[in-house]
Amino acid sequence: MDHSVHNKLISFIWNIADDCLRDVYVRGKYRDVILPMVVLRRLDTLLEPTKEAVLEEVKFQKEEMQATELDDEPLKAASGYVFYNTSKWTLKSLFNTATNNQQILLANFEEYLLGFSDNVKEIIECFNLKSQIRHMASKQVLLDVVEKFVSPYINLTHESVEDPNGNKMPALTNLGMGYVFEELIRKFNEENNEEAGEHFTPREVIELMTHLVFDPVKDRLPLTMTVYDPACGSGGMLTESQNFIEEKYPNDNRDVYLYGKEINDETYAICKSDMMIKGNNPENIREGSTLSTDEFAGTKFDFMLSNPPYGKSWAGEQKHIKDGSDVIDPRFKVNLKDYWGNEEVVDATPRSSDGQLLFLMEMVSKMKDPAVSPLGTRIASVHNGSSLFTGDAGGGESNIRRYIIENDRLDVIVQLPNNLFYNTGITTYIWVLNNNKPESRQGKVQLIDASLLFRKLRKNLGNKNCEFAPEHIEEITHTYLACAEVERQLNDNQDPIGLASKVFNNADFGYYKVSIERPDRRKAQFTPEAIAPLRFDKALSEVMEHLYQEHGERVYDAGFLKSIDKAILSWCEDNDISLNTKAKSKLLDVKHWLSLQAQHRVATELMAAIGQEEYNDYNQFKELVEAQLKAQKTKLSASEKNAILNAVSWYDDSAAKVVKKVVKLSNDKMTELLERYQCTEADLPDFGYYLLKGNEFITYESSADLRDSESIPLAYPAKGEHSAIHQYFVNEVQPHVDEAWLNLDSVKIGYEISFNKYFYRHKPLRSLEEVATDIIHLEQQAEGLIANILGLKNLSEENTV
């Protein structure tokens, strides 16, 4: 529709709030009335022409058919829509017959609302409209609001009409009605300092997404197609997709079915009403959390477009997805192979503070198998930068990226300009997925940087200060369809302009994360100071040490601990020590205190027997400790023995290496080990096996403090029998740390995508001479300006002379 008409209509509706609701609602609550009334008036105008036909059908069913319950289908046929109203009222007749008695108007209005079909009643309930009209009636403004919405100077009908002055008011199309809804939402949210774009994606972004999704398969679009949005908001993605298909690729025999889910009551109501207005099935729009409940389980879709919320916590829905650390929702589990080729089911959930990738996995789970549907499924989804790189190898985010890329479903990612959206200025990206790539794109991913391709707005809309022009959308689409590399252009100042495109192999985004170990070297010595902390639980050391210093041996008396439990917890609170239920239980459990006391007693006995000599060889020291324990017939658990040994030993690079074990590698074991590590016997030290004698090899304990990790590209070039990881170790690690070895059991495979890495272009710094010249020039300008301001121009000229 014409923008001037559109803006005039928005302005008229916007002013209703100020004219009628100023003293009745606080400003932030205007939307609670205006938005449902806009929806109601639009539905009302659509039903006005067939009102008599519907009432005739009601009369027929009641009088002729003696029906106790009305039959929906004939009523829908009579109204011409999938909704109807069986009351005698319209909004116009409510106004025309109204008196100054607001209670009579309220009763008639409620009768009018009760006459709607169930699908409209659900919308009314979501808007809480009954409560609003009662409140307006009690404040004597209901009639004023109705009058505004049936004003002859506003046209919310789908037909062109004239106002009382003879001015033509164009019809408000369904698309135009969508603009009205979403512009009002944006304005109200902006007015309330809320997330202005939470339910609103700029139209030019949706247009770009539709081109990216539909243009590559324009000649193969099915006659019956389904489109799904798991975070549909007010339905913009869905309706724009339908409009795009009908306008760009019309076919009278084609049916487009729209599906969506929305958690917010208000936007769900708007979306559902929009579906009804446009003749779509409103039952395909579901209310509730997409993540908590798989509403469309078992249903697959041809196309999916979405702008899911990013940076939004899903902790409240975690109980529906995970049981402890186990994922219980099959949408968020995937099969991947580990480094050794063993297939395993792994977690595909991101961190609880950001659920955007869960929405992507929801869509991935609903892709059609190309073996069943030749077209497969195409997806376009908007994300911020965290989806590209957050999460370590083996973590949920990385597993999601890995699953999508290794299954060759990622087609292209387009980087968008900053400040393109209403509610955020951060960088955003469109991901396009396709599980049936043409041969030319198989095994490849295209990245398009369109962050510099925009035109500025004359006035900011929230955070939005720029937009795509039609030629920008065309250029991005053409670059995508060509699947070609495009070099960034430079202007006269050597600044980058325009877009850039690169095409990568899938493996270019993957990497191995592997631990690099170094031997532990330890010294050891028994001292009273070293063994003193053994009396206390390491996690509770501060409070336990305080209690022991305060009360001495009395802490080993159960009755005493119980008598001071409140004082203990109060002391913890005063000292900002937070204790969970388990920690509190351990702290007040005398058996726990006694077990730690016994551990300290054993250490004291060992110190008395072994002495307080410092040992440079931890291996020798450990043997002495074990021999003494055996001599004393003292039995310790492995954790208790390690606690004592760790308390009296420390790392020192001048000490001897700590031996882990000596292993014998027979022919079969040797062959198996060499095949596993893809190396020769001479390479075994690179994996922590050091020849002792014959077929005996010694291995060493690793130092956790010295442990490092390396990220090695999947595509790193290997040589000879070496794997990529081993070759990287030989080239990049071994020359710098000769004692290091690879821990291949730690290998995890990760995937990340870095636009900065691929598209960053270094701009050389200006020379010192250029900078100095500019400074001098600015100083000269400033001097003349200050002289003019102070009226010292002549003096300045004299000084210059």
Residue 448 inside a domain? The answer is yes
Nearest to 327 by CA among 352, 344, 346, 353: 346
Residue 597 inside a domain? The answer is yes
CB-count burial class (<10 Å; 0-12, 13-18, 19+) for 766 = exposed
Instruction: For strands 496-497 and 303-306, give the pairing.
Output: unpaired
pLDDT at residue 656 in the model: 96
Amino acid identity of residue 226, one-letter, is T
Is the same domain home to 504 and 565? no
CA distance 657 to 272: 70
pLDDT at residue 28 in the model: 79
Residue 595 inside a domain? The answer is yes
Structure token pair of residue 582: 């388990």
Residue 331 inside a domain? The answer is yes
Is the same domain home to 636 and 574? yes
Amino acid identity of residue 31, one-letter, is R
CB-based contact 229:220 (threshold 8 Å): no
pLDDT at residue 156 in the model: 85
Is the same domain home to 332 and 472? yes
Question: pLDDT tens, 277-307?
Answer: 777 889 999 999 999 999 999 999 999 999 9
Question: What number of CA atoms fall less than 13 Å from residue 143's CA on the CB side?
Answer: 13
CA distance 235 to 270: 8
pLDDT at residue 792 in the model: 58
* Domain span at 777: 765-800
Is the same domain home to 403 and 342? yes
CA distance 67 to 58: 9
CA distance 290 to 286: 9
Give the domain-ending residue among 483, 513, 543: 513
Give the domain-ending residue among 492, 513, 534: 513
> What DSSP string runs through 147-182?
HHHT-TT---SSS-EE-TTS-EE----HHHHHHHHH
Give the DSSP letter of residue 729. Answer: I
Is the same domain home to 288 and 225? yes
Is the same domain home to 497 and 573? no
pLDDT at residue 2 in the model: 52
For residue 60, count other CB atoms closer than 10 A to its CB. Answer: 13
253-273 per-residue burial string, b: 16 or more CB within 10 A, e: under 16: eeebbbbbbbbbebbbbbbbb
CA distance 150 to 12: 12
Question: pLDDT tens, 460-514?
Answer: 877 788 999 999 999 999 999 999 999 988 887 778 888 999 999 999 999 999 9
Instruction: For strands 741-751 and 708-713, give the pairing.
Output: unpaired
611 conformational bin, left if phi > 0, alpha if psi -120 to 50, beta if neither: left
Nearest to 85 by CA among 100, 94, 75, 71: 75
Residue 189 inside a domain? The answer is no
489-494, long-range: CB < 8 A, 24+ apart? 494/763
Please count the structural domains in the chain: 5
Helix, strand, or coil (residue 663): strand
CA distance 33 to 26: 12
Is the same domain home to 294 and 223? yes
For residue 153, count other CB atoms closer than 10 A to its CB. Answer: 12
Nearest to 219 by CA among 438, 443, 411, 475: 438
Those residues with Cβ within 8 angstroms of residue 699's Cβ, 6 or more apart along the chain or in another chain: 659, 660, 661, 662, 663, 688, 689, 690
For residue 801, count other CB atoms closer than 10 A to its CB. Answer: 5
Is the same domain home to 32 and 53? yes
Residue 712 inside a domain? The answer is no
pLDDT at residue 796 in the model: 45
Is the same domain home to 607 and 559? yes
CB-based contact 446:480 (threshold 8 Å): yes
Query: What is the dihedral sign for C-alpha 547, 552, 554, 556?
Result: positive
Give the DSSP letter of residue 225. Answer: E
pLDDT at residue 236 in the model: 84
CA distance 53 to 56: 5
For residue 638, count other CB atoms closer than 10 A to its CB. Answer: 7
CA distance 365 to 334: 10
Those residues of the chain that have pLDDT short of 50 are 1, 195-199, 795-796, 800-801
Is the same domain home to 618 and 647? yes
pLDDT at residue 178 in the model: 67
Residue 198 inside a domain? The answer is no
742-746, long-range: CB < 8 A, 24+ apart? 742/514, 742/515, 742/516, 742/517, 742/686, 742/687, 742/688, 743/514, 743/515, 743/516, 743/517, 743/688, 743/702, 744/339, 744/514, 744/676, 744/677, 744/687, 746/513, 746/514, 746/515, 746/709
Is the same domain home to 596 and 642? yes
Phi and psi (nearest 5°) for 623? Answer: -65, -40
Residue 729 inside a domain? The answer is no
Is the same domain home to 22 and 90? yes
Give the DSSP letter of residue 264. Answer: -
Q: What pTM was estimated for this model as a whole? A: 0.85
